[in-house]
Amino acid sequence: MYEWLDREISEINLKKFHVIENQQIGGVIDQLIDIYLSLPPSYIAFLSKFGAVKLYRKLSYYQIGVLNPPKEKILHSGEKLLDIGHYNDARAYFRYSLLLPGKESPVFEWTEEGFERIADSFEEWLIKRCTDARDSYTDEEWQDILNLKPFTNEEVAIVQARQHFQWRAVGFDQDENLLIAIRNESKLILPYLSIGIIAKDNTLKGVIWLDVSGIHPGQQEVVKHPGYKELIAPDNTEVYSLPDPLPEDRESYWEFRR
């Protein structure tokens, strides 16, 4: 079972495109012992083989996620669900009332149209959603994924240059724009510097791109950026350094834009 996913993972030489955590199924047994025997066989088989996963990366998010262990959720109506993952913004669930020992159980997603039955089993849901995820890439994009080009010498120089940009958050202006003091200790002028941004209450996480095109080697400047001010209050905002980009991160790091 799931040999097709094994093959796809082996064909794609990108470390972040499919993230397999290989967390063993013991996590499910320990936390959900009361329903363990009722979990559908295809879901158990997946967790036994892969554990938790994040699949089909696009920029900074993954189109598909599978949880291990699943998370219990209780609706306002009192109905109990098991959150098993997501497809894009839609969470995927089993319904407790439909779980039967040794039997498959339908998967539902919470969409804009309400609680919708998507598939008759976890395996069917995963195949359907993986097909949908692959179809979201053009043929050219998929070939780029299968045949990732290594960094050029110019791109290597950009990666090294961003390591020599020093920055710190200095606060917010009267319009709640984020203020970042940046010093360029590299030998290059970069168009942008990518940094991470997160809400302290963990409700939102993302990336912002600071315009550093006017900061020459040896110079320092305070750069203004709106951040996510429409979504995160200043006192709930934190920024942090991102890891060095890999070739598969070209689209996510604006340092590579001309």
Beta-ladder partners of 83 = 71, 93
Q: Hey, which residues does 124 pair with through a beta bridge?
A: none
- Do 142 and 162 belong to one domain? no
| Shared-domain flag, residues 238 and 117 | no
Residue 115's pLDDT is what?
A: 86
**Considering 120, 146, 172, which residue would you say is the last residue of a domain?**
146
CATH code of 118's domain:
3.40.1580
Shared domain for 29 and 115, answered yes or no, is yes
pLDDT of res. 34: 63
Write the CA distances from 146 to 71, 93, 117, 149, integer angstroms.
Answer: 34, 31, 33, 9
What's the number of domains the chain is made of?
A: 2
Please check whether residues 7 and 125 belong to one and the same domain. yes
Same domain, 219 and 250: yes
- Residue 4 CA to residue 19 CA, distance in Å, equals 16
- At which of 94, 115, 146 does a domain end? 146
First to last CA, the chain: 45
Quote the CA–CA distance of 74 and 183 in Å, as a whole number.
Answer: 50
> How confident is the chain (258 residues) per 10-residue block, as mean pLDDT?
92 88 60 72 92 89 92 89 95 94 94 87 98 94 90 96 96 95 97 95 91 97 94 93 92 89
- Are residues 96 and 165 located together in one domain of the fold? no
Q: Are residues 80 and 185 both part of a single domain?
A: no
Verify that 132 and 30 share a domain, yes or no: yes
C-beta separation of 84 from 105 below 8 A? no
Q: Quote the domain boundaries for residue 113.
A: 3-146
Cβ-Cβ contacts under 8 Å for 173 (sequence gap 6 or more): 179, 224
